[in-house]
Amino acid sequence: MKGILFLCVANSARSQIAEGLARTMAPAGTRVWSAGSRPTAVRPEAVAVLREIGIDISHHRSKAVAEIPAAEVDTVITLCGEEECPLFLGQATRLHWGLPDPAAVEGSVEERLAAFRRTRDELRRRLEALFAAGGPAGTPPDRTRLSG
């Protein structure tokens, strides 16, 4: 893998968490980005749950898909749940890991953080499998969904 791009709509939660995790887990030399079709702002809960495991994404910002160097991306992972996923027009292997948006969870601060932690932990599990398999060709199709 030379470059991996995580896509969701707002580039505020799932894709930011995935980018932060992948930057620490990907094989050496792999470039990692995240982007969205309608970028907003990075959610503080995403920053907090990665900080809990020693990853700092406080400097991240939400990016539009057009900002990503398409020629350097060979793997695109969409993370959208029920909403419409953004398009990426570059030549790349595509995977879809449909996850519910933790930013949509209402409730107490702790309930919202719990949703972000579930997303973080599921993404970490999937990334471990992806990198252990040597890339997208060796990974099984998306068969799991998060609740919550």
Question: How far apart are the C-alpha atoms of 22 and 131, rounded to whole Å?
Answer: 9
Check residue 87 and give its pLDDT.
66
What is the domain range of residue 129?
A: 3-134
Query: Tens of pLDDT along 20-48?
Result: 999 999 999 999 999 998 999 999 999 99
Query: Tens of pLDDT along 111-133?
Result: 999 999 999 999 999 999 999 99
Domain presence at residue 144: no
- CATH number, domain with residue 103: 3.40.50.2300
What is the total count of domains within the chain? 1
142 CB-near residues (< 8 Å, 6+ apart) = 95, 96, 97, 98
Question: How far apart are the C-alpha atoms of 68 and 103, rounded to whole Å?
Answer: 24
Domain presence at residue 146: no
Domain presence at residue 148: no
Domain presence at residue 140: no
Check residue 83 and give its pLDDT.
57
Percent of residues, the chain, with pLDDT higher than 90: 74
Domain presence at residue 96: yes
Residue type, 109: V
Contact predicate 113/48, CB 8 Å: yes
Q: How many residues does the chain have?
A: 148
The mean predicted confidence, pLDDT, of the chain is 89
Q: Which residues does the annotation mark as catalytic?
A: 8, 80, 85
